[in-house]
Structure 1
Amino acid sequence: MKEQGNKGYLTLYQIIASFPVSSGRIALLVIDVQNCFLPTGTLPVTDGDQVIPIINDIRREYRDLFSLVVFSQDWHCVDHVSFASQHNGMKAFDTTLLQYDEQGNLCNSSSQCDVKYNITQALWPDHCVKNTTDAEFAVNITKENSDIIVRKGYHCEIDSYSAFFDNGGFSQTELGAKLKEEKIETVIITGLALDYCVYYTAKDAKKLGYNVYVVQDATRGVSYATSVDAITDMDSRGIHMVQSSQLKAIMDGLTSSGNILQISGFSWNKIVFVFIGIYLYLLVPL
């Protein structure tokens, strides 16, 4: 009887000790995987659809390790300032200089304005217009009811590449507050496009103090040259550029399977004795 009891105690102890313990809460950020950026969309990113199965695989394989999954969504006005159609004589992929006052109001020829900020704006085809099919998430991307959706780019007079802030830093989305609320320490970033929205989101996440990983094969860029520049800059900032095949080792490093009983701040000894009592009562013959 004593031997059986000791065996039951040891088995339960081993089970509890094997529970994975997070050394820091992790969020998966899925940036702008929307119809507008897919091959049939209004602003197609080359091979943009190829990130979808990779992101789905990441979700499936590490679902128990993500404390939060966030989808960002470009959500533009029909006359958004980033659209080339709103600038006479300009065409898509040109650049223009936008000027703003201290409060972040756009200065234009019809308004008197004390210019405080000059922002170079790439001009795009009309895309991701809110409440259109073009702005919806890709139909085959895995989404769950618990996922958080963060919309950006909805201010008509300022663009927003980052999922945290608009391009002038005048306003912010709810993403920062959500990550703080969930006590997130590490963000894993995927989505579109590598050289714009992924890049700016990663930079802001790093600036805000998060441990940042960009999964390179789970994103695609608008152009090769700007993608190379973005990767180089992110690397210089301490942002980790990784492949999905490396995530297993990375996630193992971010979590631990150490003895859960040794974690401070919890009365694990009391919990263990309760479980041991139940275990012995149910499984150990009298």
Structure 2
Amino acid sequence: MTRFRPTAADCLVVVDLQNDFMPQGALAVPEGDAVVPLVNHLMEGFEHVVATQDWHPRDHFSFASTRPGRAPFETIEAPYGRQTLWPDHCVQGTPGAAFHPDFAADRAQLILRKGFRRDIDSYSAFCENDRRTPTGLTGYLRERGFRRLFFAGLATDFCVRWSVEDARREGFEAVIVEDACRAIDLEGSLAAAQTAMQSAGAVRLRAADLAG
């Protein structure tokens, strides 16, 4: 079995460990809270950590509540393609947008907020869903000399998947720590995400595969 030992050129990217994605949250990811202690343990083995935070305005266009007659989890055609409509979640400054209280967020050297533009949703840590508007994370990682990124967090089939695919597109090695992620799994979205990330050249492993 290949063992991965994090180095100074590696960075752990923790995706959206926020209250609204926890089991009692507005957009609950099943067992989302189960990854928090494992992510905290993973962070102890990395010198460098980045965390992302969904940060939507109250009237974000991806919220079903902004579209009369539409329901959460329906899809629409946005100017940049298909867009899932979501329950209101991770609204700026609300308790739902805060990190899970047990997540050791102070360990992160950068907290990157995404989804704050009203008219563009943002799954990826690297680029808005229009695929043209960067978040700035690529430049940060390159300037700091990171080459390999490890991903953990929520949700596997949306924000983790898009972040992994964009990491590969930007030339980084990408590793998904599968047991430190959880999925929403809408109509087979988890299986599709696993296939897409593997096709992009990402490595899949479990936390136990990381050498201490």
Task: Quickly name the TM-score band, shorter chain normalised.
Answer: over 0.9
- Structure 1 residues 146 and 236, CA, compared in 2 at 3 Å: closer, same or farther? closer
Matched AA of 1:239:
A
Map of 2:9 onto structure 1 = 25
The aligned runs of 1:100-119 (5 Å cut-off) are 118-119=80-81
CA contact (8 A) 1:231 1:241 kept: no
Query: What displacement does 1:148 show?
Result: 0.5
Map of 1:244 onto structure 2 = 207
Query: What displacement does 1:143 show?
Result: 2.4
CA deviation string 1:239-260 (max 9, x = no partner): 0111111112xx8xxxxxxxxx
Q: Does 1:87 align with 2:67?
A: yes
> 1: CA distance between counterparts of 2:77 and 2:145?
38
CA deviation string 1:53-84 (max 9, x = no partner): 11111112x13xx3x21110000010101100
Map of 2:124 onto structure 1 = 162
Matched AA of 2:189:
T
Gaps of 5+ in 1: 1-19, 100-117, 252-286
Q: Does 1:38 align with 2:22?
A: yes
> 1: CA distance between counterparts of 2:145 and 2:109?
16
Structure with bigger gyration radius = 1
> 2: CA distance between counterparts of 1:226 and 1:129?
24
> 2: CA distance between counterparts of 1:163 and 1:44?
20
Map of 1:148 onto structure 2 = 110
CA contact (8 A) 2:99 2:105 kept: no
Query: What displacement does 1:211 show?
Result: 0.6
> 2: CA distance between counterparts of 1:232 and 1:130?
33
Gaps of 5+ in 2: none
The aligned runs of 1:58-77 (5 Å cut-off) are 58-60=42-44, 62-63=45-46, 66=47, 68-77=48-57
CA deviation string 1:79-108 (max 9, x = no partner): 101100111211000000012xxxxxxxxx
Q: How many residues align?
A: 207
CA deviation string 1:163-219 (max 9, x = no partner): 111001231112112101210000000000000000000000000000100101000
> 2: CA distance between counterparts of 1:173 and 1:35?
22
CA contact (8 A) 2:51 2:110 kept: yes
Q: Does 1:175 align with 2:159?
A: no
Query: What displacement does 1:21 show?
Result: 10
Matched AA of 1:182:
R
Q: Which of structure 1's runs of 4+ aligned residues deviate more than 3 A? A: none
Map of 1:278 onto structure 2 = none
Matched AA of 1:79:
D
Map of 1:201 onto structure 2 = 163
> 2: CA distance between counterparts of 1:174 and 1:32?
17
> 1: CA distance between counterparts of 2:137 and 2:15?
12
Map of 1:96 onto structure 2 = 76
Matched AA of 2:170:
L
**TM-score, scaled to structure 1:** 0.69
Identity of matched residues, %:
37
**TM-score, scaled to structure 2:** 0.93
Map of 1:48 onto structure 2 = 32
> 2: CA distance between counterparts of 1:214 and 1:21?
13
Query: What displacement does 1:124 show?
Result: 0.4
CA contact (8 A) 1:43 1:125 kept: yes
Matched AA of 1:30:
V
Judging by fraction of residues, say which structure has more helix. Answer: 1
Map of 1:10 onto structure 2 = none
- 2:90 is aligned, of 128, 132, 146, to 128
Matched AA of 1:57:
H
CA RMSD of aligned residues (A): 1.7
2:179 partner SS: strand
Query: What displacement does 1:151 show?
Result: 0.4
Query: What displacement does 1:146 show?
Result: 5.5
> 2: CA distance between counterparts of 1:136 and 1:168?
25
